[in-house]
Chain A
Amino acid sequence: MELTLWTYEGPPHVGAIRVAASMREVHLVLHAPQGDTYADLLFTMIEREGRRPPVTWTTFQARDLGSSTAEMVIETLQGACERYQPQVLLVAESCTGELIQDQPGALAKGAGLSAPVIPIEMAAYTRKENWGASETFYQLVRGLLAGQVPKPGEERAPRAPDQAPSVNILGPTKLGFRCRDDVVEVRRLLESMGVRVNVVAPLDATPRDLLRIPEADANINLAPEVSDLTCEWLRRQFKQPTISTVPLGWGATRDFIAEVIETLGLDIDADTVGESRLPWYSRSVDSTYLTGKRVFIFADGTHALAAARMARDEMGFEVVGLGTYSRERARDVRALASEYGLEALITDDYLAVERAVTELQPELVLGTQMERHIAKRLGIPCAVISTPAHVQDYPARYSPQMGFEGTNVIFDTWVHPLIMGLEEHLLTMFRDDFEFNDDAVPSHLGGEGGGAQQTDNVTPMTPAEPGAVAWAVSAEKELRKIPFFVRGKARRNTEHFAQEQGLSVIDVETLYEAKAHFSR
């Protein structure tokens, strides 16, 4: 039993719905109690889908238990087949469905349905949403392609010389982070390299499309949380190599291009492919103020890894915290964190993340909607880089994260919540001006982000706990002269310093000694 306030991932059957809802001509029957249908609103409200997810639910109630739930499964399966005539019918259970052991998969096989059935075991009490999506996609692909698997020892026929090299893009789903636009961007990038995109799946694919997967020369593992298992199976069974670099960030996009060239044996110069504004924007003088900004990163595995590399190498930030809720990616994230001299935070406990952010007092948080709220409460600027995300992170405009356009979008997204270079200097210069004071939040930040009041909420003016140091009035006054966006850090550092030195009162001298101490 585990105490949970907010969860980063839903249950595994929500992952199954994501795959079904991403595709066309697929229908999912879920054996689940009344109430589990709330999952519809994730798609129709958060992603503003204009159609209900292709899911029919048994919605059993207490009065059905023990007698008629198995019949309900069969009736629901038959009704769904008749009404929706899917190319493939997926059958699964939610957590409660699993407990009553009606075996809907077996029932479906024996029900003489007009559509082929693929049952999926959800393991609701040990697994989560991304696992559910991965398992559903894998079972679907395996179920459809099992008959085409070449015999052992049979070699893959080389591509005909007159045929364009081709790839499949695997992994993007509904409710994934910016998947809609990332697919467009990655496709554009590949086509500019003369590479044909054979199948994109699950997003917008039909089961018939999945049957064509083996025709491509390689698979792009675009959302490893969802497509790792499937890519690996295709690699083993069909000898299709996996292109595993995710083109998130400038360096990663270049690595991706190099991997595509290498895997497909293309005869093109990687440096001629595409263009990003990020390198110049990052080198321009205004960006100097980004140097060493302390950044905390928490996201799904893929986005956390990519963000860390971008933050350090492409933006010039200092990564002070790195973590993920994707336990499947824990190893990769731990490895990268240790390379950055950090200990990775691997958890799905929102409170643990909040504690880490509070303790580290970063200057920018890159996270999910959960971290957005943590940051808001602490008065720290934040950008959302990963699911779970809210309705505002499914924007109307084209805003991919991947490829070179993705790097442009990310540069803007990360810099926007911060106080810009020139503005930072002006704030310091005019801090005593009546219009340009600490309480006036920079114009572009609206109600969010900085502001003296939020900062002061986090670090109370008078420390309450016994043994804490007190601030002399003069020092407190001096502290007010420090720009509000670094004041929290200055206060914290000074108090640490005073405690270390065994001082009970902080005066102006202590403040500046601490400043010198920490700027070593």
Chain B
Amino acid sequence: MSQVIARADADSMPSVTTERGERAVFCGLTSIIWLHRRIQDAFFLVVGSRTCAHLLQSAAGVMIFAEPRFATAILGERDLAGMADCHEELDRVVSELLERRPDIRRLFLVGSCPSEVIKLDLANAATRLQGVHENRLRISAFSGSGIETTFTQGEDQCLASMVPDLPAAPEESQRLMVVGTIADIIEDQFRRHFAQLGITDVDFFPAARADNLPSVGPGTRVILAQPYVSDTVSALVKRGAKLISAPYPLGIEGTLAWFQAAAAEWGHSPESVQEALAIPIARAQKSLAKARESLQGRTLHFLPDSQLELPLARFLRDECGMSLIEVATPFLDQTLMAEELKRLGSEVSIVEGSDLDSALARVRASRPDLTVCGMGIANPLEAEGLRTKWSIELIFTPIQGFDQVADLAGLFARPLTRERQLEVGSWS
């Protein structure tokens, strides 16, 4: 079930094959797990089935320690048979929830596969509920359903749903907006680097507090910290923002090029940026050396999962010396990936979409030194003697920026180091 798409600029760009078939990926609801850690006064109410609730707790795993800021309103047979009015039921559940959690400043109603299929209009419900609860908190809706979103795309839908709420920025002021969830520690580092470049008008979206919304307008320059925010970018561009084309801030080269692209909008030359950031760059180079030893010359296969595959592949090849067998990604946004595609070049074969069994057959045939894959597949591949890195960790761990370069490489090096160290049993 695959076809090669002919490309006009086939000479310098990777070849892209699309595949259709079984997809072993999370749905967009999974994004709630990192979004609710990032936006600390927001609550995510999934309107869905027991499967949705079960997915969230299985993927969130040990995060059960505190009462989470997410929950599921489970649809029952009465709701589906029309015996209960879904909107009345939802109003009741929301009131119950707000009573329990008076600290919540923003409520997201999150659509799921069942709510989409029965065409439950959550945007409408959000507007109605906003009327009821007026100034207490802001209520909006987005879809994290598996039929519409894959894994990280849930965050895209969430952010896009907030764009209409962003205040308008005054025409004349030029501000930078960094889009995509990153850890607080990365935000602080990036702010320091921008300050070193004399850029202080910087907003992060989403911010740690939901009511701390950045303004947007023709002066807004958008740069992406995460690659999976296509719809958010479109919505911001519609409000006058301009997208800065850049690679992603993964690895030293990616991070440097990212700062250079942003700083160019403030009239800084690439050389001046490199000079201003010389200290963290040198530190990163030093820190990367050890992990590179483990990774150099090893082969790598990406199964489609997080949409971080392209920038990660670029980093692991160019800065860690790995060789790429296949880079698969669930979706490829040619615009948002333009700089990464250019850097990857024509040697790389990219697969968009998924046909699980044939992808696994290719992995078994080429037996890469390391396979990056979803959590459900990792142990079965290990049992076949193949080393793996499960990719959800790449979303939860701070990996962007200069000072995380060694941590990022370390995530991939650890399985290989472990293989060398263990003198017990046999991997195959």
Q: Is the C-beta of B297 less than 8 angstroms from some C-beta in chain A?
A: no
Most A-side CB within 10 Å, residue of B26, B64, B148, B380: B64
Distance, CA A33 to CA B50, complexed state (A): 14
CB pair A100–B117 under 8 Å, yes or no, is: yes
Q: Is the C-beta of B263 less than 8 angstroms from some C-beta in chain A?
A: no
Q: Is the C-beta of B54 less than 8 angstroms from some C-beta in chain A?
A: yes
Chain A: interface residue total (CB-CB under 8 A): 55
CB pair B117–A1 under 8 Å, yes or no, is: no
Which residues of chain A have C-beta atoms less than 8 A from B79's C-beta? 1
Which residues of chain A have C-beta atoms less than 8 A from B27's C-beta? 33-36, 38
Q: Is the C-beta of A99 less than 8 angstroms from some C-beta in chain B?
A: yes
Q: Is the C-beta of A221 less than 8 angstroms from some C-beta in chain B?
A: no
CB pair A96–B147 under 8 Å, yes or no, is: yes
Distance, CA A184 to CA B54, complexed state (A): 30
Q: Residue B23 contacts which of A37, A49, A62, A369 (CB distance < 8 angstroms)?
A: A37
Most B-side CB within 10 Å, residue of A1, A5, A59, A369: A1
Q: Is the C-beta of A50 less than 8 angstroms from some C-beta in chain B?
A: yes
Residue on A with the closest CB to B361? A83
A-contacting 9-mer, from B10-18, B55-63, B272-280: B55-63
Most A-side CB within 10 Å, residue of B24, B80, B93: B24
CB pair A57–B22 under 8 Å, yes or no, is: yes
CB pair B59–A38 under 8 Å, yes or no, is: yes
Q: Is the C-beta of A360 less than 8 angstroms from some C-beta in chain B?
A: no
Distance, CA A48 to CA B77, complexed state (A): 35
CB pair B51–A36 under 8 Å, yes or no, is: yes
Which residues of chain B have C-beta atoms less than 8 A from A61's C-beta? 146-148
CB pair A10–B51 under 8 Å, yes or no, is: yes
Distance, CA A39 to CA B59, complexed state (A): 10
Q: What is the total of A-B residue contacts with beta carbons within 8 Å?
A: 180
Q: Is the C-beta of B200 less than 8 angstroms from some C-beta in chain A?
A: no
CB pair A79–B50 under 8 Å, yes or no, is: no
Q: Residue A3 contacts which of B96, B150, B379 (CB distance < 8 angstroms)?
A: B96
Q: Is the C-beta of A156 less than 8 angstroms from some C-beta in chain B?
A: no
Which residues of chain A have C-beta atoms less than 8 A from B375's C-beta? 41, 44-45
Q: Shortest beta-carbon distance, B377 to chain A, in Å? A: 7
Which residues of chain B have C-beta atoms less than 8 A from A10's C-beta? 50-51, 54, 58
Q: Is the C-beta of A284 less than 8 angstroms from some C-beta in chain B?
A: no
Q: Is the C-beta of A280 less than 8 angstroms from some C-beta in chain B?
A: no
Q: Is the C-beta of B129 less than 8 angstroms from some C-beta in chain A?
A: no
Q: Is the C-beta of B71 less than 8 angstroms from some C-beta in chain A?
A: yes
Residue on B with the closest CB to A10? B54
Q: Shortest beta-carbon distance, A356 to chain B, in Å? A: 16
Distance, CA A11 to CA B55, complexed state (A): 10
Which residues of chain A have C-beta atoms less than 8 A from B357's C-beta? 56, 79, 83
Which residues of chain A have C-beta atoms less than 8 A from B161's C-beta? none
CB pair A76–B76 under 8 Å, yes or no, is: no
CB pair A51–B383 under 8 Å, yes or no, is: yes
Interface string of A1-41 (1 = CB under 8 A from B): 11111110111011000000000000000000111111111
Known: A6-B57, A7-B53, A62-B147. A1 touches B93 (CB 8 A): yes
CB pair B64–A369 under 8 Å, yes or no, is: yes
Q: Shortest beta-carbon distance, A9 to chain B, in Å? A: 8
Q: Shortest beta-carbon distance, B193 to chain A, in Å? A: 36
Q: Is the C-beta of A443 less than 8 angstroms from some C-beta in chain B?
A: no
Q: Is the C-beta of B247 less than 8 angstroms from some C-beta in chain A?
A: no
Which residues of chain B have C-beta atoms less than 8 A from A45's C-beta? 375-376, 378-379
Q: Is the C-beta of A107 less than 8 angstroms from some C-beta in chain B?
A: no
- The 6 listed contacts between A and B (C-beta, < 8 Å) are A5-B67, A11-B50, A33-B145, A44-B379, A62-B148, A128-B50
Binding site for A on B (CB under 8 A): 22-30, 47, 49-51, 53-55, 57-59, 61-62, 64-65, 67-68, 71-77, 79-80, 84, 86, 89-90, 92-93, 96-97, 113-114, 116-118, 145-148, 150, 357, 374-380, 382-383
7 nearest CB pairs, A to B = A35-B27, A35-B146, A40-B376, A50-B383, A1-B89, A96-B113, A95-B49
Known: A34-B27, A35-B28. 11 other contacts (CB 8 A): A1-B93, A4-B74, A33-B113, A36-B27, A37-B24, A38-B376, A59-B23, A62-B147, A96-B117, A124-B51, A125-B80
